[in-house]
Chains A and B, each alone.
Chain A
Amino acid sequence: MDPIKEAMLHRSRSARIERRGKLISLFCITLIVVVVVAIFTFVASRGLATFFTNGVNLWDFISKTTWSPAVKDAHGAAQVGALPMIVGSFGVTLLSAVVATPFAVGAAIFMTEISPTLGKKVLQPVIELLVGIPSVVYGFIGLSVVVPFIRHVLGGTGFGILAGTFVLFVMILPTVTSMTVDALKAVPRHYREASLALGGTRWQTISRVVIRAGMPGILTGIVFGMARAFGEALAVQMVIGNAALLPTNLISPAATLTSVLTSGIGNTVMGSLENNALWSLALLLLLMSLAFNLLIRWIGKKGEMK
């Protein structure tokens, strides 16, 4: 065969590299998908056992307010009412996201649009540093500073959703801020130039062009922030009071799904109702964050620039 024909018939070196590269990256994503599926199946199989093996009524689980799986009520059914924790989790997560978002977006705009040097030299390192503080330390600062402060100002014990919100606000700030910064940086420069050329002020450019263009990324940042708030246990547990009671106001002790899950899981025997009920909480957590995620995506699609 002549060399030209041979070269035409065989894959080029580049094509081989391309194929190999694609395979490597495909392998990575497959592995991650396998891990995700494995964890989901694991949590689901244990969490669903409460309803199928132990015969707990699903509606009771999400609507009753007494959480004490080891104790049977008058009818011999286990008392697994998760409503207080559902309310608690939603409460702290939404509130802390609501409080953190303006701060995070504001800081991100500051870092990308107003003063990049100051942002890069001061804000960014400090924010990255915050991620590395263990949640136990956050919890202790909350316990020794935030809780007494609320007690003095608002009365009560100081433990409650408000204290949890304060602590979570600081904890999710880094995640939301750094992801928002990335999103804003990704907005092409000529968008800004076009707006400024049309005579828009800096703020008009930011509010009508940059934020709108970066919206999907900002929303992802908020989702990740809320996810972190949702999944955080140790710090919240120390300041929220961790009492499985329906919260009556922001300063009455409450509990979150994760705090009950984390504090109980080591004390239960695998396969028992108490243990399965805790896994049901984990499953609920996954489903709720799925709902959050879909909601945010839907909002994001509506706000997208066409």
Chain B
Amino acid sequence: MDPKKVDKFATATLYTIAGVIVVILASLLGYILWQGLPHVSWHFLTSPAKAFEAGGGIGIQLFNSFYLLLLSMVIAVPLALGAGIYLAEYAKKSWLTDVIRTAIEILSSLPSVVVGLFGFLVFVLQFHFGFSIISGALALTMFNLPLLTRNVEDSLRQVSFTQREAGLALGLSRWETVIHVIIPEALPGILTGMILGAGRVFGEAAALIYTAGQSAPALDFSNWNPLNIASPLNPLRPAETLAVHIWKINSEGIQPDAAAVSAGASAVLIIAVLLFNVLARTLGNRLYKKMTAA
């Protein structure tokens, strides 16, 4: 066949594939939003959950989700950056590096409940953190590190070698080149990985059931002393996130309006992820513009 015709045909196929994906995703998102949005109200977003009566909200869970995300990112991102830099810039091509890489990849296939139980035995019981945000954040860090590290490494490798040579030629050390030249250049890629990781934190339930726990004690939003047990900032309080809440009311919920709460919470979760994506992208782009010549 004529290569030109093949080219046209292939282009058409690719457009179709992209179209099909958009349709699948759009209908999925549409379905969740259509089911859930009617139940979302200001009251729903701000009031605490009810154990067995109708009319509970998701205020505390929503806050917990964001706080947990923040904490786990604060722990995971620097670690992933460091490890990614090592793998991309310093590690020699040897069997040991290969073993490390493979091990990290395999770790990402562990079911999250295993990570959760490991976190339960180590952080909750061994370190006496109890069922707490910090235990949850550490478990999620372990859960997210493989993907993040891999992503950082890949993004750094994509930066053209000429950039490194330029940095070194200016008399910068390798580390300085990485920090001041390579990372800013690789920022968009790293950001994609972070957003994907954040999405997993938002959506994860099984790993958190045994670590951050599945109860959301009432919080005192006027108390911002992180040492007080009722304070929203206390990292040692148990914290049910939105995804865990959805899981819980679907599995053992006895609220008469459980289905509505679950649908509404799912819709809110998606909107929260969307907002986070937009925010992270905007900030990332600004940072990218500021740090590079682009």
Cβ–Cβ contact B104 & A132, under 8 A: no
**A226 vs B246: C-alpha distance when bound (angstroms):** 26
Cβ–Cβ contact A132 & B203, under 8 A: yes
Cβ–Cβ contact B192 & A28, under 8 A: no
Per-residue CB contact flags for chain A residues 233-275 toward chain B (1 = under 8 Å, else 0) read 1100000000000000000000001100110010000000000
A-B contact count (CB 8 A): 277
**A264 vs B143: C-alpha distance when bound (angstroms):** 21
Per-residue CB contact flags for chain B residues 99-131 toward chain A (1 = under 8 Å, else 0) read 010111111111111110110011000000000
Instruction: Check if B174 is an interface residue, CB within 8 A of chain A.
Output: yes
Instruction: Check if B225 is an interface residue, CB within 8 A of chain A.
Output: no
Query: How many Å from the CB of A280 to the closest CB on chain B?
Result: 12
Instruction: Check if B291 is an interface residue, CB within 8 A of chain A.
Output: no
Instruction: Known contacts A14-B176, A18-B175, A28-B86; decide if A131 and B14 are in contact (CB<8 Å).
Output: no
Instruction: Known contacts A39-B142, A265-B117; decide if A182 and B109 are in contact (CB<8 Å).
Output: no
Instruction: Check if B70 is an interface residue, CB within 8 A of chain A.
Output: no
Cβ–Cβ contact A140 & B250, under 8 A: yes
Query: How many Å from the CB of A118 to the closest CB on chain B?
Result: 8
Instruction: Check if B247 is an interface residue, CB within 8 A of chain A.
Output: yes
Instruction: Check if A82 is an interface residue, CB within 8 A of chain B.
Output: no
Cβ–Cβ contact B149 & A234, under 8 A: no
**A293 vs B104: C-alpha distance when bound (angstroms):** 11
Cβ–Cβ contact B203 & A282, under 8 A: no
Cβ–Cβ contact A136 & B114, under 8 A: no
How many residues of chain A have a CB within 8 Å of chain B? 97
**A37 vs B196: C-alpha distance when bound (angstroms):** 25
**A33 vs B99: C-alpha distance when bound (angstroms):** 10
Query: How many Å from the CB of B249 to the closest CB on chain A?
Result: 10
Which stretch of A55-63, A71-79, A149-157, A283-291 is in the interface?
Answer: A283-291
Instruction: Check if B199 is an interface residue, CB within 8 A of chain A.
Output: yes
Q: In terms of DSSP, what is the predominant structure of the interface of chain B?
A: helix
Chain A neighbourhood of B242, CB < 8 A: 134
**A32 vs B278: C-alpha distance when bound (angstroms):** 30
Instruction: Check if B17 is an interface residue, CB within 8 A of chain A.
Output: yes
Instruction: Known contacts A22-B175, A182-B154; decide if A202 and B11 are in contact (CB<8 Å).
Output: yes
Query: How many Å from the CB of A81 to the closest CB on chain B?
Result: 20
Residue in chain A with minimal CB distance to B29: A129
Query: How many Å from the CB of B221 to the closest CB on chain A?
Result: 25
Cβ–Cβ contact A201 & B6, under 8 A: yes
Chain B neighbourhood of A28, CB < 8 A: 78-83, 85-86
Chain A neighbourhood of B262, CB < 8 A: 140
**A203 vs B13: C-alpha distance when bound (angstroms):** 11
Instruction: Check if B290 is an interface residue, CB within 8 A of chain A.
Output: no
Cβ–Cβ contact A32 & B113, under 8 A: no
Instruction: Check if A206 is an interface residue, CB within 8 A of chain B.
Output: yes
Residue in chain B with minimal CB distance to A118: B18
Per-residue CB contact flags for chain A residues 21-44 toward chain B (1 = under 8 Å, else 0) read 110111111011101111110110
Per-residue CB contact flags for chain B residues 140-154 toward chain A (1 = under 8 Å, else 0) read 001001010111001
Instruction: Known contacts A25-B85, A32-B79; decide if A39 and B110 are in contact (CB<8 Å).
Output: yes
Which of the residues B150, B195, B202 comes within 8 Å of A220, measured between beta carbons? B150
Chain B neighbourhood of A141, CB < 8 A: 28, 31-32
Cβ–Cβ contact B175 & A132, under 8 A: no
**A202 vs B55: C-alpha distance when bound (angstroms):** 57
16 contacts between A and B (CB under 8 A): A32-B104, A39-B107, A39-B115, A42-B118, A131-B273, A132-B199, A132-B273, A134-B204, A170-B24, A182-B155, A202-B10, A220-B154, A232-B111, A234-B206, A234-B247, A257-B111
Which B residues contact A (CB, under 8 angstroms)? Answer: 3-4, 6-7, 10-11, 13-15, 17-18, 20-22, 24-26, 28-29, 31-32, 78-83, 85-87, 89-91, 100, 102-115, 117-118, 121-122, 142, 145, 147, 149-151, 154-155, 157-158, 160, 171-176, 178-179, 189, 192, 195-196, 198-200, 202-206, 242-243, 246-247, 250, 262, 266, 269-270, 272-274, 276-278
